[in-house]
Amino acid sequence: SAGPAARVCTTTFGGRAVDARWIRIDASEATTRHTVFALWEVSACVDDAAVPPRPPPQPPAPPPAHVAAECDDARGRPTRSNSKHSGAMLVDGDNASPWISEGAQAGVLQEATIDLESNRWIQRVVIFWHKDRSWRPAQYSLQTR
């Protein structure tokens, strides 16, 4: 659980799963109060049974038998980041150990990448930012591939 110290941002992909191996978060433009970001945890909800529709049209698939309830499919997966702080803190399941970015500079992205180790059908990604807005980036993007 994120507890009172986190703000939760959930990203879905238009009601469809995304076939990807990597989840990458790029953050830029630090707030004026801090020059680093605090990102508590990232989780991914994976459902390999969810297959998005593809042309030509196929009969609709039955609903998946299993949907990841806890969204912890990213937990313990390999990470990399351009910070001195270990990207493993993003996926350790411990909200008391945030990943802290390097000092943000204009035009320099702070990034962290989670490797799901094989292509998976990602339904949503949940990011637990620090509750205090001054510890969050002014902008961030989420990429999958």
The per-residue b/e assignment along 27-50, b for 16 or more CB within 10 angstroms, e otherwise, is bbebbeebebbbbbbbbbbbbbeb
In a domain, 39, yes or no: yes
In a domain, 1, yes or no: no
The pLDDT of residue 30: 58
In a domain, 45, yes or no: yes
* Residues present in the chain in total: 145
Q: Give the domain range for residue 77.
A: 6-144
pLDDT along the chain (145 residues), means of 10: 58 77 77 69 76 49 40 88 86 81 69 92 84 80 87
Please, are residues 10 and 95 in contact by the beta-carbon 8 Å criterion? no
In a domain, 36, yes or no: yes
In a domain, 77, yes or no: yes
The pLDDT of residue 114: 93
16 DSSP assignment = S
The pLDDT of residue 116: 93
In a domain, 87, yes or no: yes
The pLDDT of residue 59: 43
The pLDDT of residue 129: 82
In a domain, 136, yes or no: yes
Domain count, the chain: 1
